[in-house]
């Protein structure tokens, strides 16, 4: 990190939070440990007055209460979610926004209503191209006052596992995770899973809202139109072994056998290989891979290490079924998105 974090970045870091990496031990992240990014403010919502509208280019516009949604057949799905800006603070120069290191992750079990049958009930017009999701959180960004809004193609909106979720880990959605309803789009970075959802609008033109055209694009310079940020790149993270120093978070562990453990995921396909290095990436060794709790959730892995006394740098990297992997050095982009460079954990092994 070349330069110190600014007050503006710290204000964001104090509000939002990552998942402490020792919580990788949990297959389903306990409430309160899942990463959290609130774009503007957590809005106040009266669930009795709240309605979801489905409109725009549909044959039968719908207005649904929370009870209407709960009356439909529910689906529960474990989904690993990650912020598109995870890893941003490791980039140099550092893009100025929420300064994530590696912890902007979590896996919740979301319960709700599949979106595709709801869209079928509304009936898409023949010229329908995209579905726009509008949340209730309002703010100013890049000088533009806005509600938080994102769109998906019809095919992506109708995709497997796309849910309107009203519960998380068996509890009603907490306010910070989108109460009373949020979109959950498995495999995509978290910005897609619009919280405090109030309006779904089917449109015939590509949606050009701020969060599609200005935010969440891979751009190399300010004049670059760039390409949209979409699915989650592969990543593996380990539970840092041993015990930490409070301030530096450096790890200390005794010499001898230790099982290093963690989880790996990708929004593009199943994880096929996880490799661990104990020498800073000079050599790599296969980890044992377990089954994920669902197609859109992380897979556990384990690596047995006979830790010798001394200073070491542990690294881990994953590769998915599409051949996508993790770079040793992060490729830079202007918004600081999708930095899935390998995790590096320095450890001191004592006699």
Residue 341 CA, chain-centre distance (Å), reads 16
Yes or no: say if 236 and 340 are a contact pair by the CB < 8 Å rule. no
Q: Which of 134, 118, 261, 256 is nearest to 196 (CA)?
A: 134
> Is residue 89 within the footprint of a copy of itself (CB under 8 A)?
yes
> Is residue 100 within the footprint of a copy of itself (CB under 8 A)?
yes
> Is residue 259 within the footprint of a copy of itself (CB under 8 A)?
no
Of the pair 59, 222, the CB lying nearest a copy of itself is at 222
Of the pair 78, 240, the CB lying nearest a copy of itself is at 240
> Is residue 50 within the footprint of a copy of itself (CB under 8 A)?
no
Count Cα atoms within 13 angstroms, Cβ side, for 44.
0
Segment interacting with a copy of itself, rule: CB under 8 A, options 1-9, 56-64, 183-191, 197-205? 1-9
Site string for a copy of itself, 125-154 (x = CB under 8 A): -------------xxxx---x---------
Yes or no: say if 195 and 178 are a contact pair by the CB < 8 Å rule. yes
Report the C-alpha gap between 72 and 39 in whole angstroms: 30
> Is residue 272 within the footprint of a copy of itself (CB under 8 A)?
no
What H or E segment, with its residue span, contains residue 191? none
Residue of 53, 65, 76, 176 interacting with a copy of itself (CB under 8 A)? 176
Report the C-alpha gap between 246 and 252 in whole angstroms: 11
Q: Which residues pair with 183 in a beta bridge?
A: 164
> Is residue 38 within the footprint of a copy of itself (CB under 8 A)?
yes
Report the C-alpha gap between 319 and 217 in whole angstroms: 23
Yes or no: say if 16 and 98 are a contact pair by the CB < 8 Å rule. yes
> Is residue 334 within the footprint of a copy of itself (CB under 8 A)?
no
- 163-168 and 182-184: which strand pairing? antiparallel
Segment interacting with a copy of itself, rule: CB under 8 A, options 58-66, 100-108, 113-121, 223-231? 100-108
> Is residue 41 within the footprint of a copy of itself (CB under 8 A)?
yes
Q: Which residues pair with 260 in a beta bridge?
A: 303
CB of 155 to a copy of itself, least distance (A): 30
> Is residue 159 within the footprint of a copy of itself (CB under 8 A)?
no
Question: DSSP letters along 86-139, please?
Answer: TTGGGSSSPPSSS---S--EEEEEEEEEEHHHHHHHH-B-TT--EEEEEEEEEE
> Is residue 103 within the footprint of a copy of itself (CB under 8 A)?
yes
> Is residue 286 within the footprint of a copy of itself (CB under 8 A)?
no
Of the pair 57, 165, the CB lying nearest a copy of itself is at 165
Segment interacting with a copy of itself, rule: CB under 8 A, options 41-49, 67-75, 112-120, 185-193? 41-49
> Is residue 309 within the footprint of a copy of itself (CB under 8 A)?
no
CB atoms inside a 10 Å sphere around CB 218: 17
Residues that bind a copy of itself (CB under 8 A): 1, 3-18, 20, 22-23, 25-26, 30-34, 36, 38-42, 44, 89, 96-97, 99-101, 103, 138-141, 145, 174-177, 240, 243-249, 252
């Amino acid at each position: 990190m070349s330069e110190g974090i600014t007050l503006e970045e710290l204000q964001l870091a104090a509000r939002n939070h990552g998942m402490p990496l020792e919580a990788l031990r949990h297959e389903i992240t306990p409430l309160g440990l899942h990463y959290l990014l609130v774009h503007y403010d957590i809005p106040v919502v009266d669930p009795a007055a709240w309605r979801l509208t489905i409109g725009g280019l549909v044959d039968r516009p719908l207005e649904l209460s929370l009870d209407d949604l709960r009356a439909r057949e529910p689906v529960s799905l474990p989904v690993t979610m990650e912020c598109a800006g995870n890893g941003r603070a490791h980039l140099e120069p550092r893009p100025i926004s929420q300064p994530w290191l590696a912890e902007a992750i979590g896996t919740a079990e979301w319960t709700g209503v599949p979106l595709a049958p709801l869209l079928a009930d509304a009936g898409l017009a023949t010229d329908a191209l995209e579905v726009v999701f509008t949340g209730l959180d309002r703010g100013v960004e890049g000088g533009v006052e806005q509600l938080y809004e994102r769109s998906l193609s019809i095919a992506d909106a109708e995709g497997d596992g796309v849910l309107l979720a009203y519960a998380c880990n068996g509890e009603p959605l907490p306010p910070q995770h989108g109460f009373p309803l949020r979109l959950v789009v498995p495999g995509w970075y978290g910005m897609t899973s619009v919280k405090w959802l109030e309006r779904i609008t089917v449109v015939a033109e590509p949606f050009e809202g701020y969060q599609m055209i200005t935010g969440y694009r891979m751009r190399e310079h300010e004049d670059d139109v760039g390409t949209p940020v979409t699915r989650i790149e592969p990543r593996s993270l380990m539970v840092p072994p041993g015990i930490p120093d409070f301030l530096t978070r450096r790890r200390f562990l005794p010499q001898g056998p230790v099982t290093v453990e963690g989880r790996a995921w990708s929004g593009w396909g199943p994880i096929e290989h996880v490799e661990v290095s104990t020498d800073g990436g000079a050599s790599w060794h296969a980890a044992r891979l377990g089954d994920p709790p669902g197609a859109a959730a992380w897979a556990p892995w384990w690596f047995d290490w006979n830790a010798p006394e001394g200073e070491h740098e542990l690294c881990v990297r994953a590769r998915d079924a599409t051949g996508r992997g993790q770079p040793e050095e992060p490729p830079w982009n202007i918004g600081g998105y999708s930095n899935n460079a390998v995790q590096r954990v320095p450890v001191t092994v004592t006699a």
